[in-house]
Amino acid sequence: MTIKNKIIGAFSVLIVISLISSFLISYNIKDIKQNVYQLSNKDFAGVTFLLEADRDSYQSNLSLLKMMNTSDKKEIEKLIKDGVLNNLSQVKQRFEKFKKLLFNDMTNEKSKFEEFDTYFSETSSKTNKVISLVNEDKQEEAKALYFNSYLVSYENMRDTMDYFTEATYKVVKVNQDDTTDIIESSISLFIFIAILTIVVTIFFTYILGNNINRSISNFQNGLLDFFNYLNGETQDVQQLDEASKDEIAKMAKVVNENISKTKRLIDQDEKLIHEVKEKVEKVKEGNIKQIITSSTENKSLEELKVIFNEMLEIIAENVCDDLNKIEKALDSYSKLNFTHKIENTKGRTAIGINSLCETITKILVANKTNGLTLQDSANHLLQNVDVLNNSSNEAAASLEETAAALEEITSTIAANSKSIDQMSLYANKVTDAAKNGEKLASQTTEAMDDLNEKVTAINDAISVIDQIAFQTNILSLNAAVEAATAGEAGKGFAVVAGEVRNLASRSAEAAKEIKSLVENATQKSGDGKQIAGNMIEGYTQLNENIQNTLGLIKNVAESSKEQKTGIEQISIAVNQLDQQTQQNASVSSIVKDIANQTKSIADSIVEETNKKEFDGKEQAKAKKLSQTDFKTEEKPKPNKQLPSTEEVKTTPTKNDNSKVIQANNSNDNDEWESF
């Protein structure tokens, strides 16, 4: 049996158990739903109807009492219509709704339902009699009928409703107990099915796990044996077990076929690699002309064999058939002997080495010739650099003194400009303060306007309070009249009406006082607004005067800046000239070092070429330069006088004589040019 069928069978059993459990639990949930519906839509609804009917009966009774204690015909008619008869009809309607819901659950209480109908009819009949007596102004007879006859029927009717309320609560208790039993049985059934499902799952998991683990273990051992063979840890490999009929046995069969194929390929690869090793040893000895003849089914190794053969052939064509010849030539060149040549060779590299040897020989001859020429030129250059260095140092010293004097004048003007800037800063601060004061005064004016608006709103509110106090006073008078009409029953309400009237009077007086205070605040805010306007005008004039002062300070500052800019430009020009002179001195020093290095290099070139053996070594001579003299003339030293801080004069300097360095450029482009 395959693993797939085993797993399908196990899951089929679990699905059947789940379906059975779902059916049983659904059945119990249906019963629970029915009981909950019974409780919410019938039992509790019935209790609600009974409680509302009891409330309506109480309101009907209360309206009947009020009706007997008043003489106002309109009030009596209203109480009869809305209070007595309407509530009494509501009692009958609500009880009928209760009966419709729970009559089938209380079939043994049929006599009680009939009793309620009897008591309700009696109560309704006696209520109508009391109403007739009240309409005939027979208050005392109506009260006697109410207390002696009506209350008996009324209390019997309410007792019957209370009885049905208790009976309904008993029905609710029975339904609650049934629902609890169903829930407990559902929980027990769920726990049993869950335990059964877990046990069955563990059983099938254990059986399937052992079966699959056994097959996988055999497959794993066979694969590890095969991998050990591939890694060279064993010399032979065994076939995997194919006895079982599951999917793993099919995999083992496929692996066995690949094991046989792999073993054959490995044997062919080992043979090819062994031949490659032999050819490589011969190549190491310098014999490049080799070829590999073994073959294999491994496409990568076969391609590598073809590439390796092509590589050996290309090396022989591009380098040389015998690398020992190249090694011997290079050994001779490493000993600075460039007279050796590679004989009888067809390799491009060997031919190139011979050409390179000829080129190096030509370069060495040219190097020796140029080195000798460079020695002569370097000596002349050193003589002229010394003269240039001395002149540059003298000019740099004079310019440094002039720059120092200009810096003193510049610092004095900068100090004056700084003082003017400080004055401008203080004036700007005063301007900001004036603008801020003007802004604050404007804000004060706006605040006064807002205050006037708020005061107007307060006046409106006070008027409303005054009107409310007036209306309250009128209502309290009406209430006092009504209380007097009611007689003894309205005495307490008359006291309350008097207190309300007193509160209304005090509210009116307080509103009058607040109104007086608000009018005074309105007058004060107007005065504050006028003062703030005067402040704004003063700040505006102050700001104009400050702006005029700032204009004068700005003109003085601009004039000072122009003077400072002119002196700074002169100082910059002198500093730049000083820097250029110092750079010339530095460059002359560098040129001298370069000349020394050039002479040293020329000596080294001549010395190194003399150490090497090459054709034409003894015939190399220095090139003859033109015999133009390198003339140098000393410049007269100018008389320097430091300028004072009050007066600065600059005088352009003319160089009457210049140094000229020339060399013959007629024969060779590599000769020295004139500086």
> What average pLDDT does this structure show over 230-258?
72
| Nearest-angstrom CA–CA distance, 120 and 5 | 77
> What average pLDDT does this structure show over 493-504?
74
Question: What angle is formed at CA 20 by the lines to CA 16 and CA 24, rounded to 5 degrees?
Answer: 170
CA diameter of the chain:
170
Q: At what angle do helices 86-102 and 151-230 cross, to 10 degrees?
A: 50
Helix (H) or strand (E) holding 667: none
> What average pLDDT does this structure show over 355-375?
75
| Nearest-angstrom CA–CA distance, 131 and 64 | 8
Residue 632 has pLDDT above 80, yes or no: no
Mean pLDDT (the chain, rounded)? 74
> What average pLDDT does this structure show over 315-331?
73
Tokens coding 196: 């059964």
Q: Could you tell me the pLDDT band of residue 6, with boundaries at 50, 70 and 90? A: low
pLDDT computed for residue 639 by the predictor: 46
In the chain the domains, ranked by start, together with CATH numbers, are 3-216 (1.20.120.30), 396-611 (1.10.287.950)
Q: Could you tell me the pLDDT band of residue 490, with boundaries at 50, 70 and 90? A: low
Q: pLDDT (tens digit, 9 = 90+) per residue, 637-658?
A: 444 444 443 443 334 444 444 3
pLDDT computed for residue 651 by the predictor: 42
The rounded Cα 211 to chain-centroid distance in angstroms is: 53
pLDDT computed for residue 271 by the predictor: 77
Q: Model's pTM, two decimal places? A: 0.30
pLDDT computed for residue 85 by the predictor: 86
pLDDT computed for residue 635 by the predictor: 46
Q: Could you tell me the pLDDT band of residue 2, with boundaries at 50, 70 and 90? A: low
Residue 489 has pLDDT above 80, yes or no: no
Q: pLDDT (tens digit, 9 = 90+) per residue, 81-122?
A: 888 888 888 888 988 888 888 777 777 888 888 888 898 999
Tokens coding 414: 């900068």
List the beta bridge partners of residue 322.
287
Q: pLDDT (tens digit, 9 = 90+) per residue, 567-592?
A: 778 778 777 777 777 777 777 778 77
Q: Could you tell me the pLDDT band of residue 670, with boundaries at 50, 70 and 90? A: very low
Q: pLDDT (tens digit, 9 = 90+) per residue, 182-217?
A: 788 778 877 888 888 888 888 878 877 777 777 777
Q: Do 664 and 625 form a contact (C-beta atoms < 8 A)?
A: yes
Residue 126 has pLDDT above 80, yes or no: yes
Tokens coding 121: 């009819």
Q: pLDDT (tens digit, 9 = 90+) per residue, 36-69?
A: 666 666 777 778 888 888 888 888 888 888 888 8
Q: pLDDT (tens digit, 9 = 90+) per residue, 266-293?
A: 777 777 787 788 778 777 777 777 778 8
pLDDT computed for residue 284 by the predictor: 75
> What average pLDDT does this structure show over 331-351?
73
> What average pLDDT does this structure show over 318-324?
71
pLDDT computed for residue 4 by the predictor: 67
Q: pLDDT (tens digit, 9 = 90+) per residue, 136-174?
A: 888 888 888 888 888 898 899 889 888 888 888 777 787
Q: Helical H runs in 231-298?
A: 247-284
The rounded Cα 544 to chain-centroid distance in angstroms is: 53
| Nearest-angstrom CA–CA distance, 442 and 437 | 9
In 483-500, which positions are buried (b, 16+ CB within 10 angstroms) versus exposed (e)? beeeeeebeeebeebeeb
The beta-carbon contacts of 586-589 under 8 Å, at least 24 apart in sequence, are 588/385, 588/388, 588/389, 588/392, 589/389
